[in-house]
Amino acid sequence: MLKTSLWICKKKSASCCLINMRTKTIFDGLKNSQKLRVIINDVAIYTTVKGVLFDLFGNTEQKAAVCDALLQLSYFYRTDGSIGLAQDFRGYSVQVDLL
C-alpha cells in the first residue's frame, strides 16, 4: 500500500499538522494488489484487483461482469469470509477466486 504524507498549515495560526494519505481501495475489503483468478467463459486469467480495471478486457461488457462479481465477492468476503464466487453476470459465466 502506498503511503504519502502531506503537511497542512493554517494561515491564521502557525500550527501545522501531518496528515497521512493512502491509496484508496477499489473494492471495500480487498487490497488493490490482491491476487485473483478470474475464469470468464472457460478462459482463466491470473491478475490483481487493479489489473481487472486498468490492464485487461478490451470488451467493456466482460469487464463490467467481472467488476460485478468482484463487488459481490468483496461483500461476501467482509461478511462471512468467502474467498470464491461462481455465478452468471451480464450473460457471462464468471468465477472469481482470491489467491
CA-nearest of 24, 28, 25, 39 to 72 is 28
Domain contains 35 = yes
Q: 76 in helix, strand or coil?
A: helix
Q: Which amino acid is at 75?
A: Y
Query: Which structural domain, as residue segments, surrounds residue 57?
Result: 25-98
What's the pTM value of the predicted model, to 2 decimals?
A: 0.73
Residue 7 has pLDDT above 50, yes or no: no
CB 3 within 8 A of CB 22: yes
* Cβ pair 69, 30 in contact under 8 A: no
Has residue 19 been placed in a domain?
no
Average pLDDT, the chain: 81
Please check whether residue 50 lies inside any domain of the structure: yes
User: Whose CA is closest to 27, among 60, 72, 81, 61?
Assistant: 72
Instruction: Report if residue 16 sits inside a domain.
Output: no
